[in-house]
Chain A
Amino acid sequence: MDGGAMNFAILWPEIITSGVGVLVLAVGLLAKGETLQRSRAAAWVGVLATVAAALAAWNLQGRNLTAFFGGYRLDDLAVFFKIVVLLAAGMTLLFAPDFLVRHFVRPSDFTALVLFGVTGMMLLASALDFITLYISLELISLSFYALIAIQKGEVRPAEAGLKYLLLSSLASAVMLYGMSLIYGLTGSTYLEAIPKAFGSGQWPLLAGVGVLFILAGLGLKVYLVPFHMWAPDVYEGAPVPTVAFLATGSSAATLAVILRLFEGSFAAAGGVWVPVLLVLAIVTMGVGNLMALPQTNIKRLLAYSSIAHAGYILLAVAAGGSSGAAAVMYYTLLYAVSTIAAFAVVSVYSQAAGSSDIQDLAGLARRSPFLSFVMLAAFASLAGVPPLAGFMAKFTVFAAAVEAGLLVPAGLGLVISVISIYYYFQVIRVMYVSEPRESTPLTFGWGTRVALLLGLAGILLLGVFPGPALHMAQTAVAAGLF
């Protein structure tokens, strides 16, 4: 196996986030007289750590090398997803303290867990064998079990945490069984060894079963129907900042590994998984968009919106090829930016209203024009209104599907995606047209303001100038998956 070097220089992003995570945790536990307000500083330290790690990752572009005995791959694909998950973590940490302090959660605990989670996500984007993949995935999951249930003394978050834990560990057990089957057939746990072991010949039946088991296990993290059932309840029960990070970071990192596995290792077995994924992607779009219609709670609505967007992304995975993979990457970036901006708004208004009902958004435009404008941009982007980022992303996905000859699925997807305009604009109508129940202006801290501005800038810039990000995605795909 080449690339055996223990090259620690390429691990800087992970070293920064995990190191600062341990530091924040230790200081938070040992510091005497640490109050909730003073603990806010920890979140800023966390933001700085994500910025530093993102710069370190940016500097590692164009290296395309394998290290740690073939278990770790640093290429532009990994760098792209590392920057996306760091952006998600950084934006979450910017707006989280306001929410956490109000709910008596110490921001230092939250920051440490987010940093551990983002370390797992970055490792997952680089994982090149089953062992690294499994450990990184579990590092993410373990961080989220705690992040979801972090509100002490409240039942709903603990219920949501247990639900996520049971379903997520069930999914990893299924995924592991699939991995053990493939290991048994190939004698190797390395992703690049799988296609070599089978050569150009027919894949054995058990290998196909293994591939589908792995698809099911990873499918839970990316809201693939029928493994999406946890999402609405967990979104509703968990604290808003946790949900923002879960909705974006966790699925982005999992998509990185899905690309590596299904476009790389399992590409030759496309006959087994492409039809399954294609049908499930269309069902996922349908379920997500239709079930979003009757929702009255904004967090549940965003859960179904996540499911619907997962459908579009998985359609691009099924389409495959270099344009499909680039579409997945671009869509993930835009989805992360728009969704976190929306959750930052939800975080502010749900603290003031004490609930996350859509009705409580009434008159938001008069209470805080800035907040409602960010929400308008985020939802219009998610609905795919040009010239915002969401339009360009949907366009790349459907273009990739058409290029792969998937005309019927692409057409169905387009028709289904029209439904989404209805429920997104329903929320916008409540914000701008409905009479407010309260008229007190909403206030929020500097961190939230920066997160909202970042989100808004991302939505506008990625839509008007999609070139650089798309180009980065295309060069990453062109460099190969392993």
Chain B
Amino acid sequence: MVPLPYYFALSLTLFSIGLFGALTKRNAITVLMSIELMLNAVNINLVAFSRFITPQALLGHLFVIFTITVAAAEVAVGLALVLTLNRHRDSVNLQDFTWLRG
């Protein structure tokens, strides 16, 4: 069996790639995808820990089912908003919106 540190390294890499993408990309869809990457890194962590640390309790597996469901709901609302904005502005580029004035 592949030892735990490998899973952890994989999830850390995925999380970093996702975080980098979410903070630097300017396309709304790409940002949503990057956030999905981060959530999947969390899922890998949870399932790996569940398998290695609490193999009987399946707590991590249970948690993952909830995160997947909620992430799907979040993307559904997110894409609906992107579609609405695309209809008005003809763009999915975050810089074309008037936001982030701080």
Residues of A within 8 A of B (CB): 130-131, 134-135, 138, 141-142, 145-146, 149, 155-156, 158-163, 165-166, 169-170, 173-174, 176-177, 179-181, 183-184, 187-189, 229, 232-233, 237
Closest to B75 in A: A169
Let me know if B102 and A174 touch, CB within 8 A.
Answer: no
Top 6 A-B pairs ranked by shortest CB distance? A173-B38, A180-B45, A184-B49, A162-B81, A176-B42, A138-B70
A290 to chain B, nearest CB (A): 13
Q: How far is the CA of A177 from the CA of B38 in the complex (A)?
A: 8
Q: How far is the CA of A146 from the CA of B76 in the complex (A)?
A: 11
Which residues of chain A are near B53, meaning CB under 8 Å?
A: 184, 187
Q: How far is the CA of A163 from the CA of B84 in the complex (A)?
A: 13
Let me know if B77 and A142 touch, CB within 8 A.
Answer: yes
A12 to chain B, nearest CB (A): 24
Is B82 part of the binding interface, using a Cβ–Cβ cutoff of 8 Å? yes
Residues of B within 8 A of A (CB): 8, 11, 15, 18-19, 22, 28, 31-32, 35, 38-39, 41-42, 45-46, 48-49, 53-54, 57, 59-60, 62-63, 66-67, 70, 73-74, 77-78, 81-82, 84-85, 88-89, 97-102
A188 in complex: contacting residue of B22, B59, B89, B101, CB < 8 Å = B59
Let me know if B42 and A180 touch, CB within 8 A.
Answer: yes
A173 in contact with B85 given A131-B66, A146-B77, A183-B59 (CB within 8 Å): no
Q: How far is the CA of A189 from the CA of B42 in the complex (A)?
A: 14
Q: How far is the CA of A183 from the CA of B63 in the complex (A)?
A: 10
Let me know if A161 and B81 touch, CB within 8 A.
Answer: yes
Q: How far is the CA of A134 from the CA of B70 in the complex (A)?
A: 9
Which residues of chain B are near A149, meaning CB under 8 Å?
A: 81, 84
A169 in contact with B35 given A155-B89, A183-B49, A183-B60 (CB within 8 Å): yes
A322 to chain B, nearest CB (A): 32
Closest to A171 in B: B35
Let me know if B85 and A159 touch, CB within 8 A.
Answer: yes
Let me know if A142 and B88 touch, CB within 8 A.
Answer: no
Let me know if B99 and A183 touch, CB within 8 A.
Answer: no
Among B49, B60, B100, residue most surrounded by chain A Cβ atoms (within 10 Å): B49
A191 to chain B, nearest CB (A): 13
Let me know if B39 and A176 touch, CB within 8 A.
Answer: yes
Q: How far is the CA of A158 from the CA of B74 in the complex (A)?
A: 15
Let me know if A142 and B73 touch, CB within 8 A.
Answer: yes
Which residues of chain A are near B102, meaning CB under 8 Å?
A: 229, 232-233
A187 in contact with B54 given A131-B63, A159-B99, A181-B45 (CB within 8 Å): yes
Among B39, B67, B85, B101, residue most surrounded by chain A Cβ atoms (within 10 Å): B67
Let me know if B46 and A142 touch, CB within 8 A.
Answer: no
A interface SS class: helix
Which residues of chain A are near B15, meaning CB under 8 Å?
A: 177
A165 in complex: contacting residue of B49, B63, B70, B78, CB < 8 Å = B78
Q: How far is the CA of A279 from the CA of B52 in the complex (A)?
A: 38
Let me know if B81 and A165 touch, CB within 8 A.
Answer: yes
Let me know if A229 and B100 touch, CB within 8 A.
Answer: yes
Which residues of chain B are near A229, meaning CB under 8 Å?
A: 100, 102
Let me know if A162 and B73 touch, CB within 8 A.
Answer: no
B66 in complex: contacting residue of A135, A158, A173, A183, CB < 8 Å = A135
Q: How far is the CA of A170 from the CA of B32 in the complex (A)?
A: 9
Q: How far is the CA of A135 from the CA of B78 in the complex (A)?
A: 18
Let me know if A173 and B99 touch, CB within 8 A.
Answer: no
5 other contacts beyond A170-B35, A189-B59, with CB at 8 A cut-off? A155-B89, A180-B60, A184-B8, A232-B101, A233-B100
Q: How far is the CA of A403 from the CA of B54 in the complex (A)?
A: 42
Closest to B62 in A: A131
Which residues of chain B are near A183, meaning CB under 8 Å?
A: 46, 49, 59-60, 63
Which residues of chain A are near B78, meaning CB under 8 Å?
A: 145, 162, 165-166, 169
A158 in complex: contacting residue of B8, B19, B70, B84, CB < 8 Å = B84
A414 to chain B, nearest CB (A): 27
Which residues of chain A are near B89, meaning CB under 8 Å?
A: 155
Q: How far is the CA of A189 from the CA of B70 in the complex (A)?
A: 18
Let me know if A162 and B82 touch, CB within 8 A.
Answer: yes
Q: How far is the CA of A188 from the CA of B59 in the complex (A)?
A: 7
A145 in complex: contacting residue of B49, B59, B77, B85, CB < 8 Å = B77
Let me know if B18 and A173 touch, CB within 8 A.
Answer: yes
Q: How far is the CA of A155 from the CA of B88 in the complex (A)?
A: 7
A138 in contact with B74 given A158-B81, A181-B45, A187-B54 (CB within 8 Å): yes
Let me know if B74 and A169 touch, CB within 8 A.
Answer: yes
B14 to chain A, nearest CB (A): 10
A173 in complex: contacting residue of B39, B57, B59, B101, CB < 8 Å = B39
Let me know if A158 and B85 touch, CB within 8 A.
Answer: yes
